[in-house]
């Protein structure tokens, strides 16, 4: 399994052989402590390079920039390169082969540039692409944009990158400088280029990837939590790349189960569309279930200090809301008993009579997420039937929420509706077909990998002291251990039955 780290920094310190030596250096680091020392030293070197290039003498920045370009590129790390290094180290620790490229060497106006074919080859040879970018104006750098353009504009390359795993890291100078927006936009782009998107792992509560806080040159290594998110991203991409690799060893027999969460509708437009989509795509072995949620009475989450209420087996509904008029509990088993989830909404222009439980339902899924990611590693992609001009951005919002369940994000399916016509039916059918193939692969990988253990799924209540205390109590009572063992045993039994 090969993970390619891609630096999109415009202040990139490592170039040419400096990329090769960095990989050797990362490979020789044996502990997290040694990694931190290395990152500190490299960040300081980067700062020193700036000083030597003229900062001390206060020479104009363009002159400093020209001086920096004269360096060999074998020392130092810019802020987003620090994050990338941390993530690559973590991926390596899980057995990944790692490599690295600097986009500044390919997308440059200067005559001294590397052949773009070399970059393409590196992308094609990798199983996972890990892109690290500084935040510029709440979004990625122009170098990262050039990479997205390269993929988007080249059908052959795009086809060869299909189903590779993508994860992102971003570093900004401000606390809320756009690290997350950057990651979400890029995740959408990569999913739309048919890569499979993942975020950071459970250690930092499964968000959108690595988010670093650093402005001045040579400061990223001080952001301890940001580095943790980067490391979690390295682990996550390595694990999912491994899961998809392991999947090849055994094939799923019989049906696979896709569950549609119908969350918003009007006059059954979305419901009928799902039925038509299933018919039109003629998928063998598909066991499809539509859970009609849009018209159900779903109470708002009451934001418990401790969620779920207690540690127990997955099949036990553990949200504190137990009112008979709340209809979530009735759905619990159907929600978790699936190989894949497609959240669905109809987004109409005329909103008369619209039925939507979308936001209430999403917030209520908190107990599933905090119950050690019950939906972990299942394939997911939104399906939106969208009137032209309804402008609800539901596909982006669904991806934003679903990735936090530690899922794997596949290309969104948006059916554009104009009057009674769906304008892109064939495209949606083709995306749905692809999705089903991916579900079969991912579930085979998941069953095999989870039979070996699921310790990496433990929900870590970052930011919640009360939950941490409760966690420790549950731990003492061995309840969590029983839950973990039950999940592994069930996985083993299901794997035996469903895989050949």
The two tokens of residue 67 are 């001086």
- Closer residue to ligand FMN (CB): 140 or 194: 140
Residue 311 CA to residue 317 CA, distance in Å, equals: 11
The two tokens of residue 261 are 């969460």
Binder among 4, 14, 22, 80 for ligand FMN (CB under 6 A): 80
What value, to the nearest 5°, has the Cα angle with vertex 492 and ends 487 and 494?
95
Q: Which residues lie closer than 8 Å to 93 by C-beta, 6 or more apart?
A: 235
Binder among 4, 35, 53, 79 for ligand FMN (CB under 6 A): 79
Question: Is 10 among the residues that bind ligand FMN (CB under 6 A)?
Answer: yes
Q: Which residue is nearest to ligand FMN (CB)?
A: 177
Which residue, among 233, 240, 268, has the nearest Cα to 446 in the 3D structure? 240
The CA-to-CA distance between both ends of the chain, in Å, stands at: 23
Residue 436 and residue 258 in contact, taking contact as beta carbons nearer than 8 Å:
yes
**DSSP conformation class of 301:** P
Tokens 């991916």 belong to residue = 438
Residue 244 and residue 127 in contact, taking contact as beta carbons nearer than 8 Å:
yes
How far apart are CB 105 and ligand FMN at their closest, in Å? Answer: 15
**C-alpha distances in Å from residue 161, one per residue of 127, 244, 435, 482:** 9, 14, 16, 40
How far apart are CB 82 and ligand FMN at their closest, in Å? Answer: 8
**DSSP conformation class of 252:** B
Tokens 């939507």 belong to residue = 356
Site string for ligand FMN, 105-144 (x = CB under 6 A): -----------------------------xxxxx------
Residue 488 CA to residue 72 CA, distance in Å, equals: 51
Question: Is 145 among the residues that bind ligand FMN (CB under 6 A)?
Answer: no
Question: Is 396 among the residues that bind ligand FMN (CB under 6 A)?
Answer: no
Question: Is 102 among the residues that bind ligand FMN (CB under 6 A)?
Answer: no
Stretch that binds ligand FMN, among 64-72, 161-169, 172-180, 291-299 (CB under 6 A): 172-180
Which residue, among 499, 163, 480, 458, has the nearest Cα to 339 in the 3D structure? 499
Question: Is 61 among the residues that bind ligand FMN (CB under 6 A)?
Answer: no
Binder among 5, 128, 168, 172 for ligand FMN (CB under 6 A): 172
- Closer residue to ligand FMN (CB): 82 or 283: 82
- Closer residue to ligand FMN (CB): 73 or 172: 172
Stretch that binds ligand FMN, among 9-17, 270-278, 375-383, 407-415 (CB under 6 A): 9-17
Binder among 94, 116, 157, 173 for ligand FMN (CB under 6 A): 173
The two tokens of residue 182 are 């950057």
Question: Is 177 among the residues that bind ligand FMN (CB under 6 A)?
Answer: yes
Q: Which of residues 189-228 bind ligand FMN (CB under 6 A)?
A: 214-215
Binder among 171, 196, 415, 428 for ligand FMN (CB under 6 A): 171
Question: Is 78 among the residues that bind ligand FMN (CB under 6 A)?
Answer: yes
Helix (H) or strand (E) holding 355: strand 355-356
Site size with ligand FMN, rule: CB under 6 A: 20
- Closer residue to ligand FMN (CB): 76 or 382: 76
Residue 4 CA to residue 53 CA, distance in Å, equals: 30
Residue 297 CA to residue 328 CA, distance in Å, equals: 8
- Closer residue to ligand FMN (CB): 43 or 383: 43
Question: Is 76 among the residues that bind ligand FMN (CB under 6 A)?
Answer: no
Question: Is 88 among the residues that bind ligand FMN (CB under 6 A)?
Answer: no
Residues within the interface to ligand FMN (CB under 6 A): 9-11, 78-81, 134-138, 171-174, 177-178, 214-215
């Amino acid at each position: 399994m090969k993970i390619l780290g891609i630096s999109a920094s415009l202040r990139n310190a490592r170039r040419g052989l400096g990329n090769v030596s960095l990989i050797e250096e990362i490979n020789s680091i044996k502990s997290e402590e040694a990694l931190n020392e290395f990152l500190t030293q490299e960040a300081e070197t980067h700062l020193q390079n700036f000083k030597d290039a003229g900062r001390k003498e206060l020479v104009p920045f363009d002159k400093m920039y020209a001086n920096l370009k004269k360096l060999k590129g074998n020392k130092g790390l810019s802020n987003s390169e620090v994050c990338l290094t941390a993530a690559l180290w973590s991926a390596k620790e899980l057995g990944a082969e790692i490599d690295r490229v600097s986009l500044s060497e390919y997308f440059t106006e200067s005559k001294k540039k590397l052949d773009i074919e070399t970059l393409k080859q590196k992308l094609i040879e990798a199983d996972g692409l890990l892109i690290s970018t500084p935040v510029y104006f709440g979004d990625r750098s122009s170098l990262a944009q050039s990479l997205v353009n390269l993929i988007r504009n080249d059908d052959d390359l795009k086809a060869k990158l299909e189903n590779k795993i993508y994860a992102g890291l971003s570093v900004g100078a401000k606390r809320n400088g756009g690290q997350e927006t950057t990651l979400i936009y890029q995740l959408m782009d990569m999913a739309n280029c048919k890569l499979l998107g993942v975020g950071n792992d459970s250690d930092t509560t499964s968000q959108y990837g690595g988010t670093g806080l650093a402005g001045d040159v040579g400061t990223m290594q001080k952001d301890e939590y940001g580095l943790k998110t980067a490391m979690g991203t390295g682990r996550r991409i390595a694990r999912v790349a491994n899961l998809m690799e392991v999947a090849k060893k055994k094939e799923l027999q019989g049906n696979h189960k896709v569950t549609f969460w119908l969350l918003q509708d009007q006059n059954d437009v979305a419901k009928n569309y799902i039925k038509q989509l299933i018919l039109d795509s003629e998928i063998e072995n598909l066991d499809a279930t539509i859970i009609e949620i849009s018209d159900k009475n779903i109470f708002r989450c009451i934001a418990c200090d401790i969620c779920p209420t207690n540690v127990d087996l997955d099949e036990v509904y553990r949200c504190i809301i137990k009112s008979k008029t709340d209809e979530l509990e009735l759905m619990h088993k159907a929600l978790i008993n699936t190989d894949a989830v497609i959240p669905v909404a109809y987004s109409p222009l005329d909103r008369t009579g619209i039925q939507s439980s979308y936001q209430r339902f999403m917030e209520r899924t908190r107990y599933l997420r905090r119950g050690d990611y019950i939906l972990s590693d299942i394939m997911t992609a939104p399906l939106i039937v969208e009137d032209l001009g309804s402008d609800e951005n539901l596909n982006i919002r669904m991806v934003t929420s679903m990735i936090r369940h530690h899922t794997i994000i596949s290309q969104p399916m948006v059916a554009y509706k104009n009057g009674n016509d769906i304008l892109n039916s064939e495209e949606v059918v083709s995306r749905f077909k692809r999705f089903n193939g991916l579900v079969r692969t991912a579930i085979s990988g998941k069953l095999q990998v989870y039979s070996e253990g699921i310790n990496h799924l433990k929900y870590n209540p970052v930011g919640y002291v009360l939950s941490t205390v409760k966690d420790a109590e549950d731990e003492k009572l061995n309840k969590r251990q029983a839950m973990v063992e039950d999940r592994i045993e069930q996985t083993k039994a299901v794997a035996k039955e469903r895989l050949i």
